Structure 1
């Protein structure tokens, strides 16, 4: 591995100081520092957790600034191991880009949006029962000031890595961790494997588990773009995701932001609905009075073709299939009924990784995009895989020839 590490100290963790202290202000100059913690809200409580709290910590934003971020910390009920806890950082699926969409927020709309925010609960329960600390970042710009860089993999991965660093300062950890995630979070987890990103000193990344990672979004957008009408339960969800993709790139790319907001990249109707991206979660964005009510063809303005081509190029550039991956075991679980991360694209991703010599465990499940990450589908097998990495010696991570499927 490129990130050799010694076991982290299991001694008394550092205290988290209050929000107005001098030490906190100094900490904000460096990413991966805890700022403060607060009780977890009702929708973040989970059976099997001896402690559940929301941690506010520092991270490096997509624009290179040190900013605040939040996430949930779940500690098992079992006594602390002498060597400290193993850890899994879990990245959630798409909930939206508004602050109320942060999974730790008490303002997540009831119903489908809450279900999306809690989709990782089965995985967390199983890991807690096995004696693993689970941390669940909200991501940059969710629940805190600033925009959310939706599906911008490097930015998402940074929020995961920095939360691991912050938690290491307040909990006794044994130095072994796994990055896991679902959908958007599956992209985040895979980007943690980017060898250009600096990981946490004193911690060893043992593996990456990705449930239904989205890939080749530029192809889906190009296929969707000419559609002249809205199709209930088909285009509604996809146009809301398209709006989030535009917003995500606009957060990290000032040129693209000017193009879509000031220079004709988006239609007048899409511009009128732009504020919804900072006010509504995914279900609300998919409604007929929001992005779900726009025919895909009507999203673009006079310079829409230019904006669409720019977006597709950037999505292709940061796609998970291009990640210069560090040598670490990878697990990818796909849903055979998935309409968001189509089987053909996921199979191609697995083949690409294996052709490059990466050790990939691949699970196929008779489920759609969300249910794949459930106790009834991929969770038991994925948890066994993670536990084998967290408890045993490092696995051989690179093959000189492609493995058999």
Structure 2
């Protein structure tokens, strides 16, 4: 079905814009000269959960207003808050998620579990998928998995609907969120098995890939069968090449505020003014809103951008950003099971060659990877979902995973 050019552009922008709750520092009254003031103490970091505490539920409630397409399958949904671990400071955290239980009796051995990494929705609490009957569109991915009889669990990620900032694209946090969502699902569904797979799209594709890398350590006590990573944000260091962030595609420019805010959670010293200016920097209420919000305003910002609005001010700024992006790039370690990596060859947000190079590095680590570059498809194209679901079904069925690595890497 055809789409008008402006709507296509706005939808592309909507998939890549939103990332931070804005904060302001209020001036504190000056102490009188005779008053001694104790040095401020460092914030207390909650203890990380261990053993059965990981994925333990702190609350649960049925979701009566879930997407009718889910209810039509006879499935039920439960909103949970579960315990997990921060990849930023190593402390404990609480995460909101939604657990879906399919209709009918469980098979012998229990129901396999699929943990889903959703694409970018934003970073403020109102951008939490669990606040929406469709999980802000993620039920389109949940539905075919339920039709296969799997328990499906969708994390909101840390900082969406819970205290603290959302550490956007911090891979360890994302991995812990997905793996502990499996444990949370098993606390909701008694007949859920220990066998699990991951699937994710875009931001979620990075999360599912990282979950595969942590399956053997953080996923102890569970049986990992594989991850399907669709348009994954595996390695974005290519955004900074030859000391510049130009030329970027329009979706990449609109993505830049998210990226900077995610990096700022890990690197508080980051100054966004070193990397963006003009309308992009002047309208954070627009550029950092949830991706489904303020689309006309985002289009207005997009039409005002000039080449001078994006890019590091100095070579030192460029090198600093490149180092930060390399620090969070995947792969970091070998995966604990096979992976499917899918890209669209027309993706102008996460360039196919970036992901291809990441897959080459994974192959060099000895990973089993099926790399699928799909002609004519763009970023996070829904046409890749049926094949990914079948790939997961094959892993649960014990079918040997295809491996394109021995063919000499990616095209």
Q: TM-score, normalised by structure 1?
A: 0.75
Tell me, yes or no, if structure 1 residue 333 matches structure 2 residue 359. no
Secondary structure of residue in 1 paired with 2:298 = coil
Tell me, yes or no, if structure 1 residue 297 matches structure 2 residue 308. yes
Distance 1:328 1:26, change over 3 A: closer
Residue 32 of structure 2 is matched in structure 1 by none
Q: CA offset at residue 190 of structure 1?
A: 0.7
Secondary structure of residue in 2 paired with 1:378 = helix
Rounded to whole Å, the distance in 1 between the matches of 2:354 and 2:201 is 16
Deviates more, 1:182-191 or 1:163-172: 163-172
Determine which of 166, 189, 194 is the counterpart of 2:213.
194
Determine which of 170, 176, 192 is the counterpart of 1:152.
170
Determine which of 150, 172, 182 is the counterpart of 2:201.
182
Secondary structure of residue in 1 paired with 2:168 = coil
Residue 65 of structure 1 is matched in structure 2 by 91
Rounded to whole Å, the distance in 1 between the matches of 2:303 and 2:154 is 28
1:10-159 correspondence to structure 2 within 5 Å: 30-40=53-63, 42=65, 44=67, 46=70, 47-61=72-86, 62-106=88-132, 117-118=136-137, 120-159=138-177
Deviates more, 1:187-196 or 1:363-372: 363-372
Distance 1:308 1:122, change over 3 A: same
Rg larger for: 2
Tell me, yes or no, if structure 1 residue 314 matches structure 2 residue 324. yes
Tell me, yes or no, if structure 1 residue 251 matches structure 2 residue 251. no
Secondary structure of residue in 2 paired with 1:67 = strand
Secondary structure of residue in 2 paired with 1:117 = coil
Deviation above 6 Å: which 4+ runs of structure 1?
25-29, 263-266, 396-399
Secondary structure of residue in 1 paired with 2:165 = coil
Rounded to whole Å, the distance in 2 between the matches of 1:58 and 1:40 is 20
CA contact (8 A) 1:124 1:134 kept: yes
CA contact (8 A) 2:203 2:233 kept: yes
Distance 1:33 1:324, change over 3 A: same
Could you give the per-residue CA deviations for residues 80-107 of structure 1, whole angstroms, max 9, x where no partner exists?
A: 334221011010111221222211113x
CA contact (8 A) 2:348 2:379 kept: no
Residue 18 of structure 2 is matched in structure 1 by none
Could you give the per-residue CA deviations for residues 194-236 of structure 1, whole angstroms, max 9, x where no partner exists?
A: 2497333431111011011124422224487345xxx9xx42x
Residue 111 of structure 1 is matched in structure 2 by none
Tell me, yes or no, if structure 1 residue 384 matches structure 2 residue 390. yes
Q: TM-score, normalised by structure 2?
A: 0.74
Residue 213 of structure 1 is matched in structure 2 by 232
Q: CA offset at residue 362 of structure 1?
A: 2.3
The Cα RMSD (Å) is 3.5
Determine which of 347, 364, 374 is the counterpart of 2:356.
347
1:368-383 correspondence to structure 2 within 5 Å: 368-370=377-379, 372=381, 374=382, 377-383=383-389
Q: Which runs of 5+ in 1 are unaligned?
A: 1-24, 109-113
Residue 281 of structure 1 is matched in structure 2 by 291
Secondary structure of residue in 1 paired with 2:55 = coil
CA contact (8 A) 1:209 1:382 kept: yes
Deviates more, 1:56-65 or 1:360-369: 360-369
Distance 1:98 1:207, change over 3 A: same
Rounded to whole Å, the distance in 1 between the matches of 2:185 and 2:321 is 35
CA contact (8 A) 2:175 2:214 kept: no
